[in-house]
């Protein structure tokens, strides 16, 4: 919000509480900043709003409080800043589609496929993007000896449709596998088990300009992930720890850099993405580039990698936001 040009945009903040209520958001951006381990929260002050379908396009209307039934605001474009289920899995994007309001970022299909790690890799693999060994579980069970041999150790056990690395466990011994699966199933009804890929973790931003051209940023490499609280690039490493620092551009050599950028765009296109995405890879010691995952609604916090990668390439934060909003309005 601080980087949006106030002479061009009137920002109407709307927050969503953990209970799912839409509320008029804080206009003071200091309320929205993380403070160490303390994450910002959306405050429910008793007035709720909703996006009205079938009425004036873009109308947000009060549905509770003294002003119930009155118009809160009429909006031209939505910039979703959300994570996880219902926020970046195509659910809320479907609501925006029904309301006929342009919005920044990916549509229903790309959001749903990008949220589900199984289908991300199916689509990407079909498009020629290298992916690692994996196994999908829809019930809590032990792995067979053949499955254990194919995957090897260590493995990562993840909710297949999770976000922000919540519910992920690294398993070094098979005796610890049942507990890891139980944790993952607490967050999703489908679990993905992935072989650990020994290599450097790199990320690459993808941006689509209003006229449709797609570009990839210089990749970033994450330093210190093994020293984080979780021992890998998990939730704390992303949002809380100070141990993980980015190197932009990633020191992986020209050939690997070019391949990361090529495969980032290829993954973006394979999922029919729109506007933006962050694509994460592993680069092995031999220089092979292997897909980790895609984030179809990357973060825009001060430590988020997506804007940092484009800023490192000479783009201003405000310019990045202008491009994303302009792209959304092209589809109006």
pLDDT digits (tens, 9 = 90+) for 276-324: 999 999 999 999 999 999 999 999 887 899 999 999 999 999 999 999 9
Q: How confident is the model at residue 165 (pLDDT cuts 50, 70, 90)?
A: confident
Joined tokens for residue 130: 């290298």
Q: What's the number of domains the chain is made of?
A: 3
CATH of the domain at 303: 3.30.470.20
Is 197 annotated for ligand binding? yes
Q: How confident is the model at residue 36 (pLDDT cuts 50, 70, 90)?
A: low
- φ/ψ of 113, rounded to 5, equals -70, -35
57 and 37 share one domain = yes
127 and 138 share one domain = no
Q: Domain for residue 154, yes or no?
A: yes
pLDDT confidence of residue 39: 73
Is 48 annotated for ligand binding? no
Determine the Cα–Cα distance for residues 301 and 28; give it in Å rounded to an integer. Answer: 15
322 and 220 share one domain = yes
Is 134 annotated for ligand binding? no
- Chain position carrying tokens 């940023």: 217
Is 3 annotated for ligand binding? no
Provide the domain limits for residue 316. Answer: 110-131+199-329
Is 292 annotated for ligand binding? yes
Which is higher by pLDDT, 225 or 278? Answer: 278
pLDDT confidence of residue 327: 98
pLDDT confidence of residue 32: 78
180 and 260 share one domain = no
Joined tokens for residue 208: 């689509």
Answer yes or no: pTM beyond 0.85: yes
Nearest to 183 by CA among 170, 161, 168, 196: 168
- φ/ψ of 119, rounded to 5, equals -80, -25
Determine the Cα–Cα distance for residues 12 and 252; give it in Å rounded to an integer. Answer: 42
Is 293 annotated for ligand binding? yes
Angle between helices 108-115 and 117-126 (to 10 degrees): 110
Is 57 annotated for ligand binding? no
71 and 153 share one domain = no
Is 6 annotated for ligand binding? no
Is 254 annotated for ligand binding? no
The β-bridge partners of 222 are: 246
Is 164 annotated for ligand binding? yes
Joined tokens for residue 121: 């890799």
Q: Domain for residue 90, yes or no?
A: no
Size of the chain, expressed as the number of residues it contains: 332
Residue 118 and residue 192 in contact, taking contact as beta carbons nearer than 8 Å:
yes
Residue 22 and residue 48 in contact, taking contact as beta carbons nearer than 8 Å:
yes
126 and 258 share one domain = yes
How much is the average pLDDT of 181-187? 97
pLDDT confidence of residue 274: 98
Nearest to 163 by CA among 299, 266, 68: 299
Is 117 annotated for ligand binding? yes
Alpha-carbon torsion, ordered 244, 190, 274, 74, to 10 deg: -100
Q: How confident is the model at residue 83 (pLDDT cuts 50, 70, 90)?
A: confident
Asked if the peptide bond before residue 133 counts as cis, ω within 30 degrees of 0, the response is no
119 and 160 share one domain = no
Is 195 annotated for ligand binding? yes
Is 196 annotated for ligand binding? yes
Alpha-carbon torsion, ordered 230, 278, 14, 86, to 10 deg: -70
Is 199 annotated for ligand binding? yes
Is 198 annotated for ligand binding? yes
- Chain position carrying tokens 């196994």: 135
Joined tokens for residue 137: 């579980």
């Amino acid at each position: 919000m601080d980087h949006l040009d106030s002479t061009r945009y009137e920002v109407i903040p709307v927050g969503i509480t953990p209970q799912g209520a839409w509320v008029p958001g804080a206009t003071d951006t200091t309320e929205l900043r993380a403070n160490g381990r303390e994450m910002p929260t959306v405050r429910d002050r008793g007035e709720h709003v909703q996006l009205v379908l079938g009425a004036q396009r873009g109308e947000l209307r009060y549905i509770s409080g003294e002003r119930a039934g009155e118009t809160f605001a009429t909006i031209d474009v939505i910039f979703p800043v959300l994570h996880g289920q219902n926020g970046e899995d195509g659910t809320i994007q479907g609501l925006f589609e029904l309301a006929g309001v342009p919005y920044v970022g990916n549509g229903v299909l790309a959001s749903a496929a990008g949220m589900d790690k199984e289908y991300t890799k199916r689509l990407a693999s079909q498009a020629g993007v290298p992916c690692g060994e994996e196994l999908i579980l829809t019930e809590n069970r032990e792995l067979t000896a053949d499955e254990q041999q194919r995957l090897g150790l260590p493995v990562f056990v993840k909710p297949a449709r999770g976000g922000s690395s919540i519910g992920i466990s690294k398993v070094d011994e098979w005796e610890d596998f049942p507990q890891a699966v139980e944790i993952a199933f607490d967050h999703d009804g489908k679990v993905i088990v992935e072989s650990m890929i020994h290599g450097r973790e790199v990320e690459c931003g993808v941006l689509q300009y209003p006229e449709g051209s797609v570009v990839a940023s210089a990749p970033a490499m994450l330093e210190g992930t093994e020293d984080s609280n979780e021992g890998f690039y998990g939730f704390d490493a992303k949002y809380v720890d100070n141990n993980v620092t980015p190197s932009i551009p990633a020191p992986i050599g020209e050939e690997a850099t070019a391949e990361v950028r090529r495969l980032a765009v290829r993954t973006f296109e394979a999922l029919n993405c729109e506007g933006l995405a962050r694509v994460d890879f592993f680069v092995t010691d031999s220089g092979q580039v292997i897909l980790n995952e895609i984030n179809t609604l990357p973060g825009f916090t001060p430590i988020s990698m997506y804007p940092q990668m484009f800023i490192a390439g000479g783009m201003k934060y405000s310019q990045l936001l202008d491009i994303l909003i302009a792209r959304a309005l092209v589809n109006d």
